[in-house]
Amino acid sequence: MSTKTKIFGFMLVMITTFMILLSCCSATVYKVGDSDGWTAKDGMYREWAEGKEFHVGDSLVFEYDRNFNDVTQVSGALELEYCDSSSPKAVYNTGHDVVTLKEPGYHHFMSSNQSQCTSGQRLDVLVVHDPSRPIPPPLPRKILPLGKTYKVGDSEGWNVYDSDFYNKWSEEKQLHVGDSLLFEYDNEANDVLEISGDLEFKACDPTSPVAVHKTGHDLVRLTEPGVHYFISSKTSHCEAGLKLRVVVNFPKLSPINRLIRWLRTLISIQI
């Protein structure tokens, strides 16, 4: 590579980094339903969503009474139409959920409480990808390093087995961002909840999952470093050992990604 090409490449990286940094701070946070919050609403929030333009990186805040509601994200308009929450993409139920819109396209949300949903507690938003606003960090999925896929429990799969089995299984693994976990099990007897806290993990508490998987053949991509917890929503199964705690390390970066990361830190210090 000539020096000129190198300098040009360097500037290109600088400019891209700057644009990524700028885009991070212009993301909008919308409170769903404004002062009404997330509740049964005439017209299924169409009026609320009208005139708003949702972009990748924006967030929705759902506020509601968690005693008889939740936010269930489903994959299609039909599920929304029939208030069918039987195979959700994700379930949030803290009562104050911040959902970041990470991908362009339609996103469908409803309450899994059938009566609430049929009286209008459902929302679909169209998220557009504005080319002048590149996808903000963290690194979008597509540029995550291609990782390995680990079948949880190896040939045993995801089953009640032995109380220490999944502990031992995960201790032997070195997981990195970009890797995936494959959970295989009988979906009539089990499921996989991703939960967020160590206390919830110890107590086998399934009440505030970050994500719910229940196809019986779930591939879960590890997109963030840190500790990740998975349990069965069946408390007795979880207590019998059907729970998994994994530590995910930072991705192994290629030289160009390392350079981008270094530049990002450099710029953010100067701002």
Ligand X SMILES: *[C@@H]1O[C@H](CO)[C@@H](O)[C@H](O)[C@H]1NC(C)=O
* Closest distance of CB 74 from ligand X, Å: 18
Q: Which is nearer to ligand X, 17 or 111 (CB)?
A: 111
Q: Toward ligand X, which CB reaches closer, 206 or 216?
A: 206
Please tell me the distance from the alpha carbon of residue 240 to that of residue 170, in angstroms, as a whole number.
17
Burial of 74: CB neighbours in 10 Å, binned 0-12, 13-18, 19+: buried
Q: Are 61 and 33 in contact (CB under 8 A)?
A: no
47 or 65: CB nearest ligand X:
65
Question: Six-digit token pair at 248?
Answer: 């995910």
Query: What is the distance in angstroms between the CA of the first residue and the CA of the last residue of the chain?
Result: 31
Token pair for 63: 């506020």
**Could you give the 3-state DSSP secondary structure of residue 248?**
strand
Q: What's the closest the beta carbon of residue 95 comes to ligand X, in angstroms? A: 13
Nearer to ligand X, 26 or 115 (CB): 115
In whole angstroms, how far apart are CA 145 and each of 54, 197, 239? 28, 26, 35
Residues of the shown chain interacting with ligand X in the complex, contacts defined by CB under 6 A = 68, 113, 115-116
Minimum distance from residue 49 beta carbon to ligand X (Å):
22
In the complex, least distance from residue 70 CB atom to ligand X, rounded to whole angstroms: 9
Residue 206 Cβ vs ligand X, minimum distance, rounded to whole Å: 15
For ligand X, give the closer residue by CB, 115 or 265. 115
